[in-house]
């Protein structure tokens, strides 16, 4: 398991599940500094040089249909199948809903590279399949159970 994958699929989802409000608030206030700081710590703990810099991450905030989205664009360099193109925190304080989504890199020998949508629910990774040309926000809204 590569270090980036460990961060995207283990550390951050567990941290988000444990205290989503804290993760959301820190991301809203500290932006990419917060996420990059955690990513770099994972590399440091494994005595590896982090191949990314703070400028490789961008944070976008959106609201749609009563839900808020924090979209974390992950570094595009050195991306391997399973790594995330995006990590998306979806939340509604009014509905007490907090969800961790990923847009993951995939590779199929027959069709080449693709992106898939997944979510972390109660410590389980749920795949929603190939994202294709779908709008990621609309696809996420279709998966929410409220």
Ordered by start, the domain boundaries in the chain are: 3-143
54 with 33: CB under 8 angstroms? Answer: yes
Judge if pTM exceeds 0.75: yes
The answer on pLDDT for 1 being more than 80 is: no
pLDDT tens digits for range 60-116: 999 999 999 999 999 998 888 899 999 999 999 999 999 999 999 988 777 778 899
* pLDDT cut 90: percent of the chain above it: 78
CA 24/CA 26 separation, integer angstroms: 6
Q: What is the predicted pLDDT for the residue at 112?
A: 72
Q: What is the predicted pLDDT for the residue at 145?
A: 67
Q: Is 32 exposed, middle or buried (0-12, 13-18, 19+ CB in 10 A)?
A: middle
């Amino acid at each position: 398991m590569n270090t980036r994958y460990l961060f995207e699929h283990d550390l951050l989802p567990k941290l988000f599940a444990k205290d989503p409000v804290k993760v959301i608030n820190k991301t809203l206030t500290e932006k990419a500094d917060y996420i990059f700081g955690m990513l770099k710590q994972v590399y440091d703990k494994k005595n590896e040089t982090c191949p990314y810099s703070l400028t490789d991450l961008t944070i976008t905030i959106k609201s749609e249909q009563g839900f808020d989205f924090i979209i974390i664009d992950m570094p595009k360099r050195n991306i391997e199948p399973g790594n995330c193109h995006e990590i998306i925190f979806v939340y509604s304080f009014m509905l007490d809903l907090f969800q961790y989504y990923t847009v993951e890199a995939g590779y199929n020998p027959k069709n080449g590279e693709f992106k898939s949508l997944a979510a972390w629910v109660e410590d389980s990774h749920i795949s929603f399949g190939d994202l294709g040309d779908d709008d990621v926000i609309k696809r996420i809204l279709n998966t929410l159970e409220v």
